[in-house]
Amino acid sequence: MKPSVAVVILNWNGKVLLERFLPSVVQSSYENLQIIVGDNASTDDSIEFIKTNFPQITILTNNKNYGFAGGYNHILQRVNADYFVLLNSDVEVPENWIKPVIALMESDEKIAVAQPKIKYQVQKDQFEYAGAAGGFMDLYAYPFCRGRIFDEVEFDHNQYNTNADIFWASGAAFFIKSKAWKEVNGLDADLFAHMEEIDLCWRLKNLGYRIVACTDVEVYHLGGGTLNAVNPFKTYLNFRNNLIIMQKNLPKGDAYQLIFARIWLDFAAWLQFLLKGKPKFTLAISKAHFHFFRDLNKTAAKRSEKQIAFKNHTGVYKHSIVWAYFIKKTKKFSDLRWF
């Protein structure tokens, strides 16, 4: 029998998205599949909509909104399957999107996590910001993707149609072996949302696991379904969480040096927002730094017993993506200098 798969969609007041995207999910062709909606204490009529229109879907509820990370942790405690697929509620999937990814993951017990190619649901010949063809990190732990550097998103001309080891997989369509999820205790709920999947992948990589992109499959992500890109709270989460995951996962020798460098790079972003007359975003960065330093001891207690030198990980660009993008004007992943 094929490995069992649970596709789990976390919902919070997302009836409009469920109406639009659930029909494609329920048409997925995989013989050992359960589809679950985990609800983060919605106050709309999402649950009634699912019960009425998709009785084949299992509904699991949380007693409050725990965010993306905590919400999934609470839901997946009650799910039994060989593989979990964390799928955003704003993702359209083709019929045969599960089998190729599972086949790739089954080929090596060291593959813990995978993602398909993620493209923009509104314009399906373009990659989508959150994941594209697989996630990478630069020398200073800035995340970027095959197909997306900062806000520059490429069109898909099959230029990244190779399965490859990556640093992180997108939480928009995140395949993980359940035993790997349990081994590292799932997502870090203190991150709430944003970069929690990078943290999870990083912890697994420190244990010797592989993270891969399966470009034999593509899915279509709308993006910005719950937290808009121009929201200062998203800026706060990204800046705070990036520092937290660096402290958690870098070896001590790397951590001191790289976090110090990142704080100065963050200051450049802070100054740019100030000069552009965006005080809410400037304040978001200041708040992110304050909370990072306030919680240093709490974060330190989460450090795993094993870290691998950052440069030794696959999926690390050993230069500055900030320099490459803003100074060298490199806009495409394929044009990056890797040596």
| Domain region containing 22 | 5-221
- Type and span of the H or E element at 118: strand 111-120
pLDDT for 305: 82
Is 40 contained in some domain?
A: yes
172, 128 contact by CB (below 8 A)? yes
For residue 209, the number of C-alpha atoms closer than 13 Å in the C-beta half-sphere is 24
Is 202 contained in some domain?
A: yes
Is 288 contained in some domain?
A: no
Is 185 contained in some domain?
A: yes
Is 82 contained in some domain?
A: yes
Q: How far from 15 is each of 37, 48, 187, 268, CA to CA, in Å?
A: 12, 9, 25, 40
In the chain, the number of structural domains is: 1
Each residue's pLDDT expressed in tens, for the chain with a length of 339 residues:
899 999 999 999 999 999 999 999 999 999 999 999 999 999 999 999 999 999 999 999 999 999 999 999 999 999 999 999 999 999 999 999 999 999 999 999 999 999 999 999 999 999 999 999 999 999 999 999 999 999 999 999 999 999 999 999 999 999 999 999 999 999 999 999 899 999 999 999 999 999 999 999 999 999 854 444 578 999 999 999 999 999 999 998 899 999 999 999 999 999 999 999 999 999 999 999 999 999 999 999 999 888 999 999 999 999 999 999 999 999 999 999 988
* Distance (Å, whole) CA 34 – CA 296: 40
pLDDT for 225: 43
Q: How far from 208 is each of 59, 181, 196, 200, 202, CA to CA, in Å?
A: 34, 14, 19, 13, 10
Is 76 contained in some domain?
A: yes
Contacts of 31 (CB under 8 A, 6+ apart): 2
Strand partners, 87: 9, 173
Structure token digits, residue 198: 């990078």
Strand partners, 316: 137
* Distance (Å, whole) CA 85 – CA 98: 9
Is 260 contained in some domain?
A: no
| CA 158 to centroid of chain Cα atoms | 22
Strand partners, 191: none
- Type and span of the H or E element at 213: strand 210-221
141, 174 contact by CB (below 8 A)? no
What is the 8-class DSSP label of residue 127?
A: B
Is 130 contained in some domain?
A: yes
For residue 162, the number of C-alpha atoms closer than 13 Å in the C-beta half-sphere is 7
> In CATH, what number is assigned to the domain containing residue 153?
3.90.550.10
In terms of DSSP bridges, do strands 83-87 and 58-61 run parallel, antiparallel, or are they unpaired?
unpaired
192, 64 contact by CB (below 8 A)? no
Q: How far from 139 is each of 149, 201, 250, 312, 319, CA to CA, in Å?
A: 14, 17, 12, 11, 5
**Model pTM score:** 0.96
Q: Residue 152 — left, alpha, or beta (φ > 0 → left; ψ -120 to 50 → alpha)?
A: beta
Give me the residue label for tokens 């398909």.
Answer: 116
Strand partners, 5: 33, 83
